[in-house]
Amino acid sequence: MIDISELSQLCDKLGCRITPECSLSEYITFRFGGPCRALINVNSARSAVELIRFMKEKNIKYGVLGRGSNVLVSDEGFDGVILLFGSDFARIDVNGNTIRCDAGASLAAACVRAQQSGLTGMENLFGIPGTVGGALYMNAGAYGSEMKDIVASAEYIDEDCEIKTIKAEDMELAYRRSFFSGTERVITSVTMMLKNGDPEEIKSAMSECMAKRSSKQPLEYPSAGSTFKRPEGSYASLLIDQCGLKGLTCGGAMVSEKHSGFVINKGYATCADVLELCEKVKSVVKEKTGYQLELEPVILR
């Protein structure tokens, strides 16, 4: 049982905003999902430590959410507390060729700050709609670039609620996974090492990247980005195309006709619609091609 009054007192002490019985649909890019028992806007690494320690001591279920761009939330919601790493925890500092970001800073904002500082290396990541912390968690990437190409170190909260520092070479960064994936470790800041470049050339490259995204991806609809991980030896979108699944629907969810690697929300999709559609796609692709597709978004349970 969650004592909201006790939790609110802790939030007051830490200066964190808390919203009881908060709908999560506005906090994920798919724009659906039920409520959580409380949502807390985390404002610092130390606040995160205190809140997580409190949850563990009280045996309260909790989850961490950034911009919700690679997340599915069930229609029933999340029976626990969500720690939101967002605008209250989004500081970006530049020092020479390094850029240090709080985990809640948006990746797009970090890319812009790098460009303004004449630092190159993040251009291809511009447009990925997540936080810097979330991007490192899953080693996000696009157009041949990944977080592992630029990350130098990170700070995180370990399983014992201690803040630790880890270097890039120890992060086990691989395709859509890292040292943090599937664990209780919570990233609090990320430091990236970039190179000097011309601000105008960097800006031009970022604009080209966004133009490419806009022309090929269904950005006009809510989604979680690429719905399936890239299977070894092929591409999810290619396999889905080959199986004639573009435009396949289930309730308000649809395999995008613009880019079949995206399942989109036509405006009234539920989480159940999306999961049912994804299972249909996986089943047909497995039957017709032999490939086993795997969901890329994390399901917040």
**How sure is the predictor about 301, in pLDDT bands with cuts at 50, 70 and 90?**
confident
Class for the domain spanning 90-216: alpha beta
**How sure is the predictor about 40, in pLDDT bands with cuts at 50, 70 and 90?**
very high
Percent of the chain with pLDDT over 70: 100
Residues of the chain with CATH 3.90.78.10: 236-300
- The pLDDT of residue 230 is 93
Task: Indicate the DSSP class of residue 257.
Answer: S
- The pLDDT of residue 2 is 84
179-192 pLDDT per residue, tens: 999 999 999 999 99
79-122 pLDDT per residue, tens: 999 999 999 999 999 999 999 999 999 999 999 999 999 999 99
Identify the CATH number of the domain defined by range 236-300.
3.90.78.10
Sign of CA dihedral 100, 102, 107, 109: negative
Distance (Å, rounded) from C-alpha 292 to C-alpha 166?
Answer: 33
Show which residues are catalytic: 176, 226, 296
Residues of the chain with CATH 3.30.465.10: 90-216
Q: Which fold has domain 4-87?
A: 3.30.43
If you average pLDDT over residues 260-289, what whole number do you get?
97
Output the six-digit token pair for 273: 């619609």
217-257 pLDDT per residue, tens: 999 999 999 999 999 999 999 999 999 999 999 999 999 99
> Smallest Cα–Cα separation from 240: which of 229, 250, 251?
229
Long-range CB contacts (within 8 A, 24+) of 18-26: 22/82, 23/77, 24/65, 24/68, 24/73, 24/77, 24/78, 24/82, 24/300, 25/73
